[in-house]
Amino acid sequence: MEYVEGFVAAVPNASKDAFRNHAEKAAVVFKEHGATSVVECWGVNVPDGKVTSLPLAVKCETDETVVFSWVTWPSREARDKGMDAVFADPRTSSEVNPMPFDGTRLIYGGFEKLVVA
């Protein structure tokens, strides 16, 4: 069963180009290690909430934008094997491809598809 891993992060507005570059490099590595697709989205209509919201979840600051991303894998097993390989790949090291955002505020999780229309 296809497996989806989703990510939400706050990225400094001034780092949009650096984020795109980081994501493009990482996408190559993910796909080489079994991901079927990688999607990175820059927030353009992500409202603040009073109780819950994506900006609140990642503690988005006024000079940041919420980024929503996902990686699809053929299965959970392929994801587990692929992510081990991604993390071991030197192209994803912080020295080679540093994250242009605060990774401590990154939210992620894995999901099985329930409805596809």
Q: For every one of its 117 residues, what pLDDT tens digit does the chain have, with 9 covering 90 and above?
A: 899 999 999 999 999 999 999 999 999 999 999 999 999 999 999 999 999 999 999 999 999 999 999 999 999 999 999 999 999 999 999 999 999 999 999 999 999 999 999
Q: What is the pTM of this model?
A: 0.93
User: Within a 10 A sphere around the Cβ of 6, how many other Cβ atoms?
Assistant: 14
72 to 62, 81, 90: CA distances (angstroms):
31, 13, 22
Task: Spell out the domains of the chain, with CATH numbers in brackets.
Answer: 3-112 (3.30.70.100)
Burial class of residue 41 in the structure, from the number of CB atoms within 10 Å of its CB (0-12 exposed, 13-18 middle, 19+ buried): exposed
